[in-house]
Structure 1
């Protein structure tokens, strides 16, 4: 259980749509911070379990969850899932009140963020794209990094509420900017994990004590979060935690699609994406992204 402490703020009526690996804990932090939370999840049993653990209210549809909420948070799978819970049948947008804010934590395309922001604006409420970084442990411990795009006034209203599960919530530009920043994040991680995989595999073949090597080099210029948190588990060949390969491939697909639109060159990202496809073919779709090293063993 997280030991996070919460800054005192005025309690809000909020909804949380999507209680997956990330959303379950994020919604829990909102409840612990004192907000009145209504939850919706496609699998009702999980929402029932959440209510038993945290209190709050269970809704049968996204629209029911959004009814009367000051802020509606969502964390679902992809663009299609996001459209389904917002503008689809029984979607949240149909029930949101004027002046409310929809905060989307899904890692999705910049295009869908702009699309839904325009719809929200016409209906009298705001939309903030707000993908997160930090993985399931970041969600559990309430220390996520949140990258936001959208209206500045709406951002200022949602930020103190989102701090319940975050260590940093930052506005980076207009609608879509949050999603673009998350793409930058994933591009960085893809290259880092591939480099770390090659380094560990090389060191092991050279007969080095890689735990000792990582301990030394993590204090120098090669240091990274991935090295400190995933290096030792890669040495031990452990991949049953963290951010799954299937999810990373979805994210890298978004990066490559956007690059085709904006003309950016992503040769390493494209290569690592294919390496992850090989890991999937090995049966590793649900392994942690650090499982890239499996290709080299």
Structure 2
């Protein structure tokens, strides 16, 4: 699949370029709704029926609260997930939902939450994205990498389907509260038509007009987020090694210059006993994202020295059996000087390297 896409890209000469639509206008259903949603305009019963239908594919820990925000914002949304339990949860929230993608075949736009680039490319074989149906815009809400979205958008562009590259950050809490940051990039008409729907989920950051630009912003974000997560865990564990009360230390440092969003959000879970810690976001997600960041850095010739160490910490935590645990469980990584991956330079008697002064 990737080779075929690469060959196609070489023929067009521009990776990630989305061919012009037959018409420069936004698809009519979306255009109509964009006009109807002008501030201060009252909506009649007849106008409500003209609202576009948003198909939402993937309603896991992040997807379901995002779809709920769209639904709560008064927009038509129908969700699909392979997990019957998630479908049941959506139905309990009053959101039409099923396990069959056929039920969103008449959607005007498709919002997608997947775990990997491979899952995204698998959608290309779906009848939903043949180009012959009603779906003319697809929004990628996941972190799958710059090249993956560029290649994906190229193929869909040739089918007359526009792609809005829109990975999000803010975690499950942000999704539940409608306070995500959306790194949005795509055709201005698509962004304009979908802006009111996207804003139900949080704040839009305009990242540019090309697919892949949103993913690039997200790579920078994930370099920071994963680093802050790893350092927060190390700080909590360091406090314990010093014989301090980790809860009191957490309260103190979150009010100081050493605070970070990750420390404030994940810190309370880090100080909980492992068996009592809720699972909100699997550690494996950060392992995947760290790999994406490092591959992206290598592709542009950038040596992410510090982040290489962060990546190693995440991999070590996953290999310790924490990949399916909450990402705050990285605090449980063995950091003793007797651990196999301990830094010999600073756990030795100083013969290998003098300690930092």
Pick the TM interval, shorter chain.
Answer: 0.7 to 0.9
| Separation in 1, partners of 2:180, 2:206 | 14
Contact 1:20 1:76 in 2 (8 A): no
1:197 aligns with 2:236: no
Deviation at 1:92, TM superposition (A): 3.2
1:222 pairs with one of 253, 258, 267: 258
Are 2:81 and 1:41 equivalent residues in the alignment? yes
SS in 2 for 1:283: helix
Q: Structure 2 vs 1, CA of residues 66 and 138 (structure 1 numbering), >3 Å: closer, same or farther? A: farther
What TM-score does the superposition give when structure 2 sets the normalisation length? Answer: 0.73
Deviates more, 1:120-129 or 1:21-30: 120-129
Of 87, 90, 114, 2:127 maps to: 90
3-state SS of paired residue (2:61):
coil
Q: What is aligned with 2:61? A: 21
Closer, same or farther: CA 243–55 of 1 in aligned 2, 3 Å? closer
Q: Match for residue 243 of structure 1? A: 281
2:351 — aligned with what?
none
Q: 2:330 aligned to 273, 292, 296, which one?
A: 292
Q: What is the match of residue 266 of structure 1?
A: 304
Matched, 1:187 2:223: yes
Q: Does the 8 Å CA contact 1:13/1:70 hold for their aligned counterparts? A: yes
1:275 alignment partner in structure 2: 313
Mapped to 2, the partners of 1:135 and 1:84 lie a distance apart of 25
Give the Cα separation in 1 of the matches to 2:251 and 2:257: 12
Q: 2:104 aligns with which of 43, 65, 70?
A: 65
Give the alignment's TM-score, normalised by structure 1.
Answer: 0.87
Kindly tell me: are residues 241 and 278 of structure 1, through their superposed partners in 2, closer, same or farther at Cα, counting changes over 3 Å? same
In structure 1, list runs of 5 or more residues that go unmatched: 1-6
Checking the alignment, whether the CA contact within 8 Å between 1:27 and 1:37 is kept in structure 2 is: yes
Structure 2 residue runs of 5 or longer lacking an equivalent are 1-38, 337-357
| Structure 1 residue 205: Cα displacement | 1.8
The structural deviation recorded for 1:104 is 0.7
Secondary structure, aligned partner of 2:290: helix
Give the secondary structure class of the aligned counterpart of 2:142.
coil
Cα distance change of structure 1 residues 47 and 202 upon mapping to structure 2, 3 Å threshold: closer
What corresponds to 1:4 in structure 2?
none
Q: Report SS of the residue matched to 1:169.
A: strand
Answering whether residue 209 of structure 2 is matched by residue 171 of structure 1, we say no
In the TM superposition, residue 79 of structure 1 has moved relative to its aligned partner by 0.8
Structure 1 position 253 matched with structure 2 position 291: yes
User: Residue 93 of structure 2: SS of its match in structure 1?
Assistant: helix
Is the aligned partner of 1:122 residue 2:158? Answer: yes
Match of 2:169 among 133, 142, 146: 133
Deviation at 1:93, TM superposition (A): 4.2
Taking the aligned partners of 1:82 and 1:249, their CA distance within structure 2 comes to 18
Name the CA distance, whole Å, in 2 between partners of 1:52 and 1:227. Answer: 33
Deviation at 1:182, TM superposition (A): 1.3
> How far off its partner does 1:179 sit?
0.9
Match of 1:146 among 178, 182, 193: 182
* Residues 32-70 of structure 1, C-alpha deviations (whole Å, 9 max, x = no match): 222222222223553354234324354722x65142x23
Match 1:209 to one of 238, 242, 245: 245
Task: Tell me by how many angstroms 1:275 deviates.
Answer: 1.6
Partner residue, 1:234: 270
Return the index of the structure with the highest Cα Rg.
Answer: 2
Q: Is 1:240–1:288's contact at 8 Å kept on the other side of the alignment?
A: yes
Aligned-residue Cα RMSD (Å) equals 2.3
Mapped contact 1:66–1:95 kept (Cα < 8 A): no
